[in-house]
Amino acid sequence: MKRILVLISGNGSNLQAILDACQEGRVAGEVVAVVSNKGEAYGLTRARAAGCATEVLEAAGFADRAEYDAALGDLVEGYRPDLIVMAGFMRILSPAFIARFHGRMLNIHPSLLPKFQGLHTHRRAIEAGESEHGASVHFVTEELDGGPVVLQARVPIFEGDTEAEVAARVQVQEHAIYPLVVSWFCMGRLVMMQDKALMDGEPLGPAGYADE
């Protein structure tokens, strides 16, 4: 069983999807700890309800990002994780932190990467007149939202859609694809080598598994 540590900042709905998948035996791993940079994050309540260890490490009191990330890295390392899952962790991690856990970090981003890196993706997709949108699970590298994509899910954008409607549609897909990718990693099917995602030993295309 692989040891999974999840980083959160808020509600933790993707965390819940992963917790459920572990409990149901769909992931050959267990969430050993959930770490948040915000003490009020509801995801901590979800973690405690599932019997997971929880930690809060807020940025206040640290001189800079490097100091915070060094402390966060020490905290994470103490749980000996095989995989670190970012599930709505709203901090940009330093290159030193990412290098420390290279190849062991996954993130989910609410867009069809490389489109709409950064924030406010749903609004930007609507304003750009896109007919489809989605979510991407990717390995974390030093480039923000730029690591190799593992799996994407697509949803339509209909005329007159609000940002909230698109966000809800995307989130349903996030809850499906994130646990699946975590399961692939825990099974040993998914790895990152030389900044490329490999599935069953074969490099994945720009849109990840099942790339058209």
Task: Give how far Cα 94 sits from Cα of 44, 57, 71, 197, Å.
Answer: 24, 16, 12, 21
Instruction: Please write the tens of the pLDDT for every residue from 101-157.
Output: 999 999 999 999 999 999 999 999 999 999 999 999 999 999 999 999 999 999 999
List Cβ neighbours of 209 (8 Å cut-off, separation of 6 or more).
Answer: 150, 151, 199
Q: Tell me: the pLDDT tens digits for 51-90? A: 999 999 999 989 999 999 999 999 999 999 999 999 999 9
C-alpha to C-alpha distance for 124 and 136, rounded to whole angstroms: 16
Quick check: is 109 catalytic? yes
Distance CA 186, CA 140 (A): 17
Give 146-197 pLDDT, tens digit per residue: 999 999 999 999 999 999 999 999 999 999 999 999 999 999 999 999 999 9
Geometric angle at alpha carbon 192, from 134 and 177, rounded to 5°: 30
Catalytic member of 102, 109, 120, 175:
109
pTM over 0.85: yes
